[in-house]
């Protein structure tokens, strides 16, 4: 069983909608990640939060807005997305010593 929980599992939105993806972990990990994964491709890093502060932004468009309300929660706010943003969005967390990531099941996003 995954210990990183993502909701919703599926999301369909129009280009003018505002929606959010949520991620929760209770393993005490202090680094949390958002990845984007297109079909038949490896995950692409979007954001990293370390100790609740944004530490890495991989030049992601501003229509994606991350938020880390506390050490267990990570949100990704979505606004004015494009159809090409349709993908599987994966959340992950880690203990920073070894760097291994624990992934959630992902949120499948479709932008119409």
Partner 1 sequence: AQSVTQLGSHVSVSEGALVLLRCNYSSSVPPYLFWYVQYPNQGLQLLLKYTTGATLVKGINGFEAEFKKSETSFHLTKPSAHMSDAAEYFCAVTSNSGGSNYKLTFGKGTLLTVNP
Binding site for partner 1 (CB under 8 A): 2, 4, 6, 31, 40-43, 45, 48, 50, 55-56, 88, 90, 92, 94, 96-106, 108
41, 62, 81, 86 from 30: Cα distances, Å: 27, 24, 29, 28
For 89, counting Cβ atoms within 10 Å of its Cβ (0-12 exposed, 13-18 middle, 19+ buried), the class is buried
- Report the nearest approach of partner 1 to the CB of residue 28 (Å): 17
- Report the nearest approach of partner 1 to the CB of residue 36 (Å): 12
- Measure the CA–CA gap between 50 and 56, rounded to whole angstroms: 9
Please, which residue, 16 or 97, has the CB nearer to partner 1?
A: 97
Query: For residues 65 and 76, is the Cβ–Cβ distance under 8 A?
Result: yes
- Report the nearest approach of partner 1 to the CB of residue 106 (Å): 5
């Amino acid at each position: 069983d995954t210990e990183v929980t993502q909701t919703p599992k599926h999301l369909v939105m129009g280009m003018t909608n505002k929606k959010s993806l949520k991620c929760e972990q209770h393993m005490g990990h202090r680094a949390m990640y958002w990845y984007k994964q297109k079909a038949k491709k490896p995950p692409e890093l979007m954001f990293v939060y370390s100790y609740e502060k944004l530490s890495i932004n991989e030049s992601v468009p501003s229509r994606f807005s991350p938020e880390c309300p506390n050490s267990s929660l990570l949100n990704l706010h979505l606004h004015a997305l494009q159809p090409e943003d349709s993908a599987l969005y994966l959340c992950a967390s880690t203990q920073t010593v070894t760097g291994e990531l624990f992934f959630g099941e992902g949120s499948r996003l479709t932008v119409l």
